[in-house]
């Protein structure tokens, strides 16, 4: 048993074998479909989600509640527990975990990864490796916080349809963008999402992702993950474009609800600054 138990959620896009190898407890996000509820990680969940989205059925997700965090903390069996959540700007998970930590018996530290999706997963992996090596709670937390400052993500949407359904962007702007066939390229860093460009083909979108990621330090990355939502062939194309030995991971279907299928991108950890002891 590790000195420090590590808990996160399924939006981290950690392959099950990686979570198991590093001893990370992953709380699944619930998915609500007209046919009934399921969860991230359940076989067939992705197919159910994308089929429902394709037919226009309402699909929603809900973050692990505080009681699930509390149960996982108590079941960890460790005197120290670190919980790592996605950026507070994107989800209530940080707040839910903090509420659980306040009433838990073990010592619990909750860390906001300042990221989401595969970028969040890289922060979790960095902390988990320190925990697996026998690190103290302070060392695990420091590793997570350091990774949260170094992690970046660049990706591309394949369609604007699911942004339209959110109602957060004026429909007139979306109508024009869809007629032009654009595939927005975006970055995620420090809890912020920024639009980087609007390529008009899938191939151009991948090239723009590579260009933006390279400008931001991907070529010298300590570790990287290429991610996709039900689009493994595009993920492999991007992996070939960016080179290296990036891991490939699938978006959790609970996140695919908000982006739709076809999302592809890359997340990476920049090398530590000179003089860093991490």
CB 73 within 8 A of CB 47: no
Q: Residue 181: pLDDT above 60?
A: no
Is the same domain home to 144 and 158? no
Question: Residue 19's domain is classified under what CATH number?
Answer: 3.40.50.10170
| Domain annotation covers residue 51 | yes
Mean pLDDT of 200-208: 91
Mean pLDDT of 132-148: 97
- At 92 the pLDDT is 96
Is the same domain home to 196 and 233? yes
- At 278 the pLDDT is 54
Give pLDDT tens digits for 249-277: 999 999 898 888 999 999 999 887 655 55
| Domain annotation covers residue 278 | no
Is the same domain home to 144 and 156? no
Mean pLDDT of 154-175: 60
Total domain count, the chain:
2
Cα angle: 182, vertex 234, 202; to 5 degrees: 20
175-212 CB burial, b ≥16 within 10 A, e <16:
eebeeeebbbbbbbbebeeeebbbbeebebbbbbbbeb
CB 151 within 8 A of CB 267: yes
Give pLDDT tens digits for 216-239: 999 888 899 999 999 999 999 999
Give pLDDT tens digits for 41-54: 999 999 999 999 99
Q: In terms of residue numbers, what domain contains 191?
A: 151-269
- At 183 the pLDDT is 80
Query: Phi, psi (5° rounding) for residue 53?
Result: -65, -40
Q: Residue 200: pLDDT above 60?
A: yes
Q: Show which of 149, 168, 202 is a domain's final residue.
A: 149
Is the same domain home to 74 and 87? yes
| Domain annotation covers residue 121 | yes
Is the same domain home to 73 and 34? yes
CB 213 within 8 A of CB 268: yes
* Average pLDDT along the chain: 89
The residue to which tokens 């590579």 are assigned:
210
Distance of CA 74 to the CA centre of its chain: 25
| Domain annotation covers residue 274 | no
Is the same domain home to 82 and 127? yes
pTM, whole model, 2 decimals? 0.91
Q: Which two tokens stand for residue 247?
A: 């891991």
Is the same domain home to 117 and 169? no
Is the same domain home to 35 and 45? yes
Is the same domain home to 17 and 65? yes
């Amino acid at each position: 048993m590790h000195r420090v138990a590590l808990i996160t959620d399924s939006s981290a896009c950690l392959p099950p074998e990686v979570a198991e190898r590093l001893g990370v407890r992953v709380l699944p996000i619930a998915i609500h479909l007209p046919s009934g509820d399921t969860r991230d990680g359940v076989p067939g969940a992705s197919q159910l989600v994308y089929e429902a989205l394709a037919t226009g059925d309402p699909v929603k997700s809900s973050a692990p509640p505080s009681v699930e965090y509390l149960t996982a903390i108590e079941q960890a069996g460790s005197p120290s527990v670190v919980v790592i959540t996605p950026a507070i700007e994107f989800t209530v998970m940080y707040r839910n975990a903090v509420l659980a930590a306040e009433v838990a018996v073990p010592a619990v530290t909750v860390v906001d990864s300042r990221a989401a999706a595969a970028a969040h997963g890289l922060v979790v992996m960095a902390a988990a490796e320190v925990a697996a090596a026998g690190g103290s709670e302070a060392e695990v937390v420091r590793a997570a916080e350091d990774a949260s400052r170094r992690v970046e993500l660049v990706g591309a949407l394949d369609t604007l349809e699911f942004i339209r359904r959110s109602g957060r962007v004026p429909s007139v702007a979306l109508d024009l963008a869809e007629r032009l066939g654009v595939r927005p390229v975006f970055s995620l860093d420090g809890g912020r999402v920024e639009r980087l460009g609007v390529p008009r083909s899938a191939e151009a979108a991948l090239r723009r992702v590579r260009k933006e990621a390279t400008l931001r330090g991907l070529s010298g990355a300590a570790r990287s993950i290429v991610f996709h939502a039900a689009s493994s062939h595009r993920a492999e194309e991007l992996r070939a474009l960016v080179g290296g030995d990036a891991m490939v991971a699938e978006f959790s279907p609970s996140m695919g609800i908000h982006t739709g299928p076809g999302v592809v991108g890359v997340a990476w950890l920049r090398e530590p600054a000179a003089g860093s002891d991490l």
